[in-house]
Amino acid sequence: MTGPNPHRAGRSMYSVAEVAAMLAAGDRLILAGEERLLAALPPGEWIGGTSPFFITAEAGGTHDRDRIFVQRLPAIASVAWLGMLDRAALPDMATLGPDNGYTILLIPGQSGVHSDFALHGLEWPDMFRRPVVGWVTGVAGDAGEAARPRVFDGRTGRSADDAAVVLHVALPDHAFARADIVNLFEPDLDGPVLTFAEDTGFAVEWAMVDGVRTRLVDHIAAHGIDTRLPLVADYNGAMVNVATAGIDAATGRVDFFAPVHAGIDYRFARPVGDYAHRFAERLGRPQGEIAFSCNCILNYHYAELEGKQLGELAGPVTFGEIAYMLLTQTMVYLMIEQD
């Protein structure tokens, strides 16, 4: 059954006053925007996170520091649980949710909860009981050292840079949620296999390159690898990216936006052509109600998505995407389908 798409009703971006009016009317919202805008909102049924970049219904890719991006919960959905969880409580997040529904998880970038989820989230109880989608929050590159990625619990008005905000959404029995990803990258099968001796987190120095222990930074330099292309690995049938955050030539450290794991075969990706066209082509026309979507900041910048539409989806541009696990250089969306 095809329902209305709350993202493509003509607008995505609203002023603080307009969002406050939605909350006063009882709307249940997922919000993205600058910290000062989210902090100005009244209490209500909402969660939010910081980002100044968006794929909008109005204009496609947009950088906007004066308005808030709005995603509404579907009319058939209800809020089962909403709150903020610290590092100690977050591993039990899935146990708080409904039997039928989905979870929206927002995590502040560069935080302890970010690292914990990336390294251990798949091991947490009940994480596959219902779809879990969301994103990692961030700030503009010119925001200054004092600016920190933050998340907001709209019920209490509290914000944090060291806790995650969780929204468990319940659906009626005749509906169900399905999470999907759009990943344009495929491993370059002509390139060597890279493996890592242990789960090293977000930074590595050494890798096994076709079985030979090599400093990764030396391998990248020797082969002229374009680090805008991520490492790609097959995780149980799904191609998952690990995007490069930076290289410290002095120390030989390569930093990533997601961790690499031992026992996984990685290859650098092959180049992608027209990003916007490929996204629209891969997405097609989803059958159902789009309840959530987001897209990676690296896709936004590397593919020059400002002003470009991406098929049927609008959403915040994010600093890491969540579909059960932490993803990078990926689009995530969630559909509601009804019997």
- For 17-47, what is each residue's pLDDT tens digit? 999 999 999 999 999 999 999 999 999 999 9
Dump pLDDT digits (tens) for 174-217: 999 999 999 999 999 999 999 998 767 799 999 999 999 999 99
Euclidean distance between CA atoms 332 and 327, whole angstroms: 9
List, as one string, the DSSP characters of 136-167.
EE---TTS-TT----EEETTTTEEESSSEEEE
Q: Answer whether 101's CB lies under 8 Å from 177's CB.
A: yes
Q: From 258, 279, 293, 286, select the one nearest 32 (Cα to Cα).
A: 293
**Side by side, which strands form the sheet with 151-153?**
13-14, 68-72, 29-33, 46-50, 151-153, 158-160
pLDDT above 50: residue 2: no
In this predicted model, which residue has the larger pLDDT, 177 or 313? 177
What residues are paired with 334 via a beta bridge? Answer: 179, 292
Chain mean pLDDT for the chain = 91
Strands 253-260 and 201-204: antiparallel
Q: Answer whether 182's CB lies under 8 Å from 279's CB.
A: yes
Residue 280 is predicted with a pLDDT of 72
- What's at 137, amino acid-wise? T
Rounded to two decimals, what is the model's pTM? 0.93
- How large a percentage of the chain has pLDDT more than 70? 94
Contacts of 179 (CB under 8 A, 6+ apart): 102, 131, 132, 133, 323, 324, 332, 333, 334
